[in-house]
Amino acid sequence: MADIIDGRVIARQLDEKTKAQVDEMVAAGLPAPGLAVILVGDDGASQVYVRRKIKACEKVGINSIEHRLPADTSQEHLLAVIDTLNKDKRVHGILCQVPLPEHIDTRLVLRSISPDKDVDGFHPVNVGRLTTGGGGIVPCTPLGVMLLIESVMPDLKGKDVVVIGKSNIVGKPVANLLLDAEATVTVTHIYTENLPDIARKADVIVAAAGAPELVKGWWVKSGAVLIDVGITRIMAEDGKERLVGDIAFDEVQHAAAVTPVPGGVGPMTIACLLSNTVQAARALHGTATDRESLFDDAPDRTMIFRPAIAGDHSLSRG
């Protein structure tokens, strides 16, 4: 029977750590970290995500500042809002919920967020720092994936890891973090040939394809660790909707450990967003220490929270 890696429990532990850091900042007379969340338009799913993020902020003591803008907001106005937030000392993290309406250039908007406040870690400066191992804010889902893997396999040195999916927001940053942890990483995608054969050699599989139950039991070697990032809503045979991951959960009981869907990677993404906001605030206030780790008793996770020394731009987050 494979162990279940419970993302809800690990996310809760991370939230406790984040809350303690917020309390520490406030006790030191610093303002509580502030996260600005921008929502343009009335996309239903985006509204749900934003609501969840704001509620999560409240739990750990982060001030959330919500900017709801109508769907016909001009790009210029959105850029002006971001410019104001970039300069606002009460704001330490800025998140612009995507997708944005079609008349807005998403790439331009995301690049206008200050790298120091880019808590999603999507800004090219942060991407560059991630790929060169030189610090920066790490995207939330990949960060969560690393913490889930490390909860059951703290030492990834020399392990064979197969990442399925090469998107900019999941597959590529996960691959970079894994390389930093000295794993041997194979990144695969829709055009990869013999994917089952490649997967079968893996000590760890990170599935981030968005292809329901793609990874079958026979693709998985005994004792492997499986991280399921994918999440798709499907219509089950009983006519009810169901959320499924990229891994055929019922077929992989010979694995060492597997994340469930839901309740695996999902909760970690929000917990990492909160943590990123606090790390950004600490860096901006110059209170971050050189070697941060998420859990006091955790192995070295410096590849996740990079050195952050305010004033020295070569080292600060972003």
Question: What are the catalytic residues?
Answer: 53, 97, 120
User: Looking at beta carbons only, is 90 or 107 nearer to ligand NAD?
Assistant: 107
State which residue, 114 or 269, has the beta carbon closest to ligand NAD: 269
Q: Which is nearer to ligand NAD, 230 or 307 (CB)?
A: 230
Q: How far is the CB of 86 from ligand NAD (least distance, A)?
A: 25
Shortest Å distance, C-beta 112 to ligand NAD: 22
Which of residues 116 and 228 has its CB atom nearest to ligand NAD in the complex? Answer: 228
- Under the rule (CB under 6 A), what is the footprint of ligand NAD? 141, 164-167, 169-171, 188-190, 192, 195, 208-211, 214, 229-232, 265-266, 269
CB of 45 to ligand NAD, least distance (A): 10
Q: What does the H/E/C string look like for the chain?
A: CCEECCHHHHHHHHHHHHHHHHHHHHHCCCCCCEEEEEEECCCHHHHHHHHHHHHHHHHHCCEEEEEEECCCCCHHHHHHHHHHHHHCCCCCEEEECCCCCCCCCHHHHHHHCCHHHCCCCCCHHHHHHHHHCCCCCCCHHHHHHHHHHHHHCCCCCCCEEEEECCCCCCHHHHHHHHHHCCCEEEEECCCCCCHHHHHHCCCEEEECCCCCCCECHHHCCCCCEEEECCCEEEECCCCCEEEECCECHHHCCCCCEECCCCCCHHHHHHHHHHHHHHHHHHHHHCCCCCCCCCCCCCCCCCCCCCCCCCCCCCCCCC
Closer residue to ligand NAD in complex, CB, 229/247: 229
Provide the minimum distance between the beta carbon of 212 and ligand NAD in the complex, in angstroms, as a whole number. 8
Tell the smallest beta-carbon distance from residue 242 to ligand NAD (Å): 14
